[in-house]
């Protein structure tokens, strides 16, 4: 995606919505210092540009009984585009897989997985992931604890870069 030049108000709108996507348009407009109608127009324009792609709640997986989080590093036999696309399509069907990223280097994909318990993850691993077509190897790492989980982008760096360009 090409670099899109945003003004300070648009950057502030994005930062505020990233921090709290549930706020009303009136509250957002007050936080960014413009009236509600132009604020809503800007939000819709940011959505149309593909800079706002959704609004999500952060759910406490452990409180809901998903005690296990695992990163699975997957190597494929073939990296032909059709084989990569087929693996990605398969990964999208697996409920335990919450994220799937293609990587450059020794590992072809890294999957972020959640499961209620270790035996459930082991069943997914042996019955689905390692037996999937084109999968050559899978290495897993069980998450012990999370020290930082900040989705999105660091808007202070974006702001500093924009100021340097002006």
Query: For 65-79, what is each residue's pLDDT tens digit?
Result: 999 999 999 999 999
119 and 73 both lie in a single domain:
yes
The reported pLDDT for the residue numbered 2 is 55
How many C-beta atoms lie closer than 10 Å to residue 151's C-beta?
Answer: 7
The predicted pLDDT at position 152 comes to: 87
Q: Output the pLDDT for position 151.
A: 86
Closest to 17 in 3D by CA, of 29, 1, 35 = 29
**How high is the pLDDT of residue 5?**
82
Q: Please indicate, yes or no, if residue 2 is contained in any of the structural domains.
A: yes
Q: What's this model's pTM, rounded to 2 decimal places?
A: 0.84
Model confidence over 132-162: pLDDT tens digits? 999 999 999 999 999 999 888 898 887 787 7
Range of the domain at 110: 68-142
Q: Is residue 155 part of a domain?
A: no
pLDDT score for 36: 96
Are 44 and 72 in a shared domain? no
* The total number of structural domains that make up the chain: 2
CATH number of the structural domain spanning residue 128: 3.30.70.920
Give a yes or no: residue 160 inside a domain.
no
Residue 86 lies in a domain: yes
Supply the pLDDT for residue 3. Answer: 67
Residue at which a domain ends, from 13, 33, 57: 57
Residue 19: count other Cβ atoms within 10 Å of its Cβ.
11
Segment 86-113 shows an average pLDDT of: 97
By CB neighbour count within 10 A (0-12 exposed, 13-18 middle, 19+ buried), where does 18 fall?
middle
Report the chain's terminal Cα–Cα distance, integer Å.
21
Q: Considering only 37-41, 58-62, 65-69, 104-108, which range has the smallest mean pLDDT? A: 58-62
């Amino acid at each position: 995606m090409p670099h899109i030049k945003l003004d300070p108000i648009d950057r502030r709108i994005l930062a505020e919505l990233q921090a709290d996507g549930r706020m009303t348009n009136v509250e957002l407009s007050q936080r960014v210092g413009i009236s509600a109608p132009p604020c809503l127009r800007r939000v819709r324009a940011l959505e149309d540009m593909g800079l706002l792609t959704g609004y999500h709640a952060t759910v406490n997986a452990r409180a809901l009984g998903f005690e296990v989080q695992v990163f699975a590093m997957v190597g494929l036999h073939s990296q032909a585009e059709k084989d990569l696309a087929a693996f990605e399509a398969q990964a999208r069907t697996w409920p335990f897989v919450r994220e799937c990223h293609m990587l450059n280097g020794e590992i072809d994909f890294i999957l972020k997985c959640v499961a209620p318990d270790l035996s459930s993850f082991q069943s997914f691993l042996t019955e689905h992931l390692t037996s999937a077509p084109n999968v050559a190897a899978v290495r897993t790492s069980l998450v012990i604890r999370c020290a930082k989980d900040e989705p999105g982008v660091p808007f202070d760096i974006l702001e500093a870069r924009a100021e340097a360009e002006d």
